[in-house]
Amino acid sequence: MTAVGQVDAQSEVTAPLTAPPVKQQRETLFFALRSKKFLISVSILLVLLVIAIVGPMLDPTDPLLQNGAHVMAPPSFHDGTWFGTTIFGEDVFSQFCNGLRASFFIGFLGGGFAALLGMAIGFTAGYKGGWIDEILNMLTNVFLVIPTLAVLLVITAYLSARGVLFEAVFIGATSWPWAARAIRAQTFSLRSRDFIDLARLSGRGGWKVIVFEIAPNMSSYLFLTYILLFGGAILIAASLDFIGLGPMGAMSLGLMMFNAVTSASLVLGMWWWFVPPGIGIMALVGALYVMNVGLDEIFNPKLREL
Amino acid sequence: MRRYFGRKIFTYVITFILAATIDWLIPRFMPGDPIVMLMTTHASNLSPANATALYSYYSGLFGLNMPLWQQYLNFWGSLLHGNLGLSIIGNGQPVTQVIMAAVPYTLALLIPAILLSWWAGNSFGALAARRKWLDNSILPIGYILTATPYMWLGLLLSFLLSYTFRIFPLSGGYGYNLVPTLSLTFATDLIAHWMLPFLSLFMVMFGGWAIGMRNMIIYELESDYSRYLESLGAPQGLIRKYAFRNAMLPQITGLALQLGVIVAGALVTEIVFAYPGVGSLVFNSIKNEDYFLMQGIFLFIIVGVLVANFLVDIVYVIVDPRTRVAMRGGTA
């Protein structure tokens, strides 16, 4: 497959085995501080993170508190409702901050869980090879074609209580396949290198070789994979919340859009209700994707624009 | 070649069996009795006679008094007969019928959106790679689009083009004052309602394909064969043409990998526009706790994605001559 060849070519560069680590670190930092993509995306992410952490403290209104005296108000600084209020009188800014927090949480946990599963399966399949590889590959292919949303549809519909943690775990459990496939391909290309043979000859067990020899040599690749899984988890969670399968009793950006649509905010012209959550997701996920490319260019000299 | 397709079909069959088993398993092993759950939510709306009839129908269909293995075999039996139960939303119509009425709308959205965005995205991505100003404009747009949640772009488009400027109708598959007929007014109305959901799907996907192609072309232009051609003095156009053909293959694989996400995107987009496809059906089945319909849709989506995957496999073999020549021993 060409995609595999692609990945091989990349690993050749992302794993400079001869460079001393200190010099390499300094070089990475040098290119990181010069990469516009990296700097811009990291600043956006930091701003969003600050809003998600500090926002609920600055504006401690309960996102679900319904203030009947102040409904459908457009954004105004005068009233203290910066983003306006919903049809039920809930504070949109408070919902936005809490939703952003939930998005970070889902991305961190869901993406992390998917990365762990992907690494476990990808490393095992790529390193062991043989029939273990065949079976894991088949498993990966099966999970790869099953549409996540459809599975979540039947499972979550039957659960009477759903939490944020459940959502994160479930997203993790269904979005690992492409990561596993990519990591397997990378592991495959590293497996036949001399230093791996040497480590094996020295009597190290399979897991030790993977953890101490293979994983560190593709750490940048693993990090990039995690960033993509992070962003993907946020988008999936938003879709789930939007069709009404999200966590109950909590606030999220997808749920804000769900409420806005079911309460006919479009017909009422309440743009301030559904615009902020979308911008939040777009900025967050977009910044993650751009950071992924920026880091790719930092780690991989071939992609740097001269 | 036979080995290649054999492997693929084997994977798909396993996937289908697994999916159907999940479909069977979940109502049985989730906490709570689904029949009781159904009865408590719906018995209040029904007359006692209907309620008992519904209960006996549900118990008969679940066959909960039989051993598990027999329940499982029965499930497959009715599944292979196309019997997925009756739908609550559809007023007791068979689930298959309810879904079949919605499928054409979803396909009419999905197929043009997928094909056109793939074509346009790849063309623009290939143009943009390593060309300063095009790259600087297409890349940010692509990233913004691909990070946009489908439903939000739909909301934004309908707010701008339907609510504010009143160019397109706000929601639905066709005007409420029309009856589906083979007339010109109905056809134009249908297209007017179709435009916005199509556009929001198209735009989000376009971003993804453009970025993917742009990155792929850069990889290809940096590879040895491109450098060699360059050193031979080949024209840039020729090198780019070769790069494009090579970069297209991962994009085809990418299409297969993205299908699940795309389908999910179509579902939420339909909900925004109340478009009468499978997405709105999903939404209504969740709202009305129509479990048979939900399970039916689940199987339908899976079968659809599997068929689409298989089509992509066939296209891949046609496009890539290497799969035809030496599939044997390769890792498919």
Can you give the pLDDT at residue A31? 77
**Domain presence at residue A154:** yes
**pLDDT tens sequence across A273-305:** 888 999 999 999 999 998 988 888 888 776 665
Can you give the pLDDT at residue B325? 63
**pLDDT tens sequence across B275-296:** 898 988 988 887 777 777 888 8
pLDDT band per the 50, 70, 90 thresholds, residue B30: low
Can you give the pLDDT at residue B62? 59
Domain of residue A128: give its range. 31-54+91-300
Shortest Cα–Cα distance, B141 to chain A (Å): 10
Pick the more confident residue, B212 or B322: B212
**Domain presence at residue A60:** no
Residue A13 predicted with pLDDT over 50 = no
**Domain presence at residue A13:** no
**pLDDT tens sequence across B245-261:** 888 888 998 888 888 88
Q: How many CB pairs under 8 A join A and B?
A: 181
Percentage of chain A exceeding pLDDT 90:
21
Long-range contacts of B159-165 (CB under 8 A, 24+ apart): B159/A266, B159/A271, B159/A274, B161/B196, B162/A266, B162/B196, B163/A266, B163/A267, B163/A269
**Domain presence at residue A295:** yes
**pLDDT tens sequence across A164-201:** 888 888 889 888 988 998 899 888 888 888 888 888 88
**Domain presence at residue A17:** no
Tokens of A46: 């930091």
ipTM of the complex: 0.81
**Domain presence at residue A221:** yes
Is the Cβ of B287 closer than 8 Å to some Cβ of chain A? yes
Can you give the pLDDT at residue B107? 93
Residue with tokens 């492997």: B7
- Three-state DSSP class for B174? coil
Window 293-322 of B: residues touching A by CB (8 A cutoff) are 294-295, 297-298, 301-302, 305-306, 309
Is the Cβ of B11 closer than 8 Å to some Cβ of chain A? yes
CATH of the domain at A234: 1.10.3720.10
Shortest Cα–Cα distance, B50 to chain A (Å): 24
Is the Cβ of B27 closer than 8 Å to some Cβ of chain A? yes
Q: How many CB atoms lie within 10 A of CB B241?
A: 13
**pLDDT tens sequence across B292-312:** 788 888 888 888 889 998 998
Residue A9 predicted with pLDDT over 70 = no
The half-sphere exposure of A2 on its side-chain side, counting CA atoms within 13 A, is: 23
- How far is it, in rounded angstroms, from Cα A130 to Cα A134? 6
Number of domains in chain A: 1
**pLDDT tens sequence across B174-205:** 777 777 777 788 888 888 889 999 999 999 99
On average, the pLDDT of chain A sits at: 81
Can you give the pLDDT at residue A79? 67
Can you give the pLDDT at residue A103? 92
Window 131-150 of A: residues touching B by CB (8 A cutoff) are 137-138, 141-142, 144-150
Is the Cβ of B218 closer than 8 Å to some Cβ of chain A? yes
- Three-state DSSP class for B249? helix
On average, the pLDDT of chain B sits at: 83
**Domain presence at residue A116:** yes
Contact A235 B272 (CB under 8 A): no
pLDDT band per the 50, 70, 90 thresholds, residue B228: very high
Question: Which of A146, A244, A285 lies nearest to residue B287, judging by beta carbons?
Answer: A244
**pLDDT tens sequence across A81-121:** 777 778 777 888 888 888 999 999 999 999 999 999 999 99
